[in-house]
Structures are given as structure tokens and as C-alpha cells.
Amino acid sequence: MASKPEKTLETFPNPFIDRDYHIHMEIPEFTCLCPKTGQPDFATLVLDYVPDKKCIELKSLKLYIWSYRDEGVFHEAVTNKILDDLVAVLKPRYLRIIARFYVRGGIFTNVIVDHRKKGWQPEPMVLLQEFNTQSNIRG
């Protein structure tokens, strides 16, 4: 059976609900239409989130993203709409979307939106020293 665009987002239970962990996705084939000209707009979406009770199911996310292909929508509106839809189904601890739209008329547009669950604070980042094998070779 062939897939088709779909606005339904499916989830599955977070397998590690007691742990904060970061899920990072890059979606390099996002397409929508310019609401003024009808010309296609192309973007890479970067999705980062810390799940709470649910995680996003990837095929449903793919079909959801595909559903914007024939929609006329401004970059700012579509980025915020995607964030709102994901927050509504996931209720994550944290979620950020970076929409990197390709050049149009000599202008790159990046739209960054995020959501933080009320009261949630991330653990402090642990910075580890990078191990450089070249500087550690003795000879």
C-alpha cells in the first residue's frame, strides 16, 4: 500500500521515562509553497527534544512533514505550527525546531522556536575534553 501525506502524528511510550535524554533529528526534504507566489520553498528542519512520557513515531512524522508539500504558508507560521502540533501530542520536557530555509531572492531564512515544559530544568551539561589521537602519539 502506498503512503500518502497525513496530518496525524503517532507516538509510542518513552522507554526511559525516568531519564532526560536528547533526541536529535534532521529532516532535509521539507517543502511547502510560498503563499504569495506559489513557488516551492525548501528547508532542512532540525528537531531536538527531550521526551517525557511519549516519543514520536518516525513514519508518522515523515508523512506529517510531507503533508505541507502543497500548502501555501509563511516560514514563520509553518515552523510554529509544527512545534505546536508536536507539543500537543508529545507533551515533551523540551522541544526545539530550527527551520533552515534555502535561499530565495538572495535571503536565507532560519526560524527557531522552542517549548519548555513548565518547571522542567535541564541537568547541567557535562563537558568532556576531546581526545585527539594525533597529539597523544609518542614517537
Which amino acids are annotated catalytic?
Answer: 34, 41
* Alpha-carbon distances of 69 from 5, 16, 60, 91, rounded to whole Å: 9, 34, 15, 26
Alpha helices, H only, the chain: 58-66, 75-90
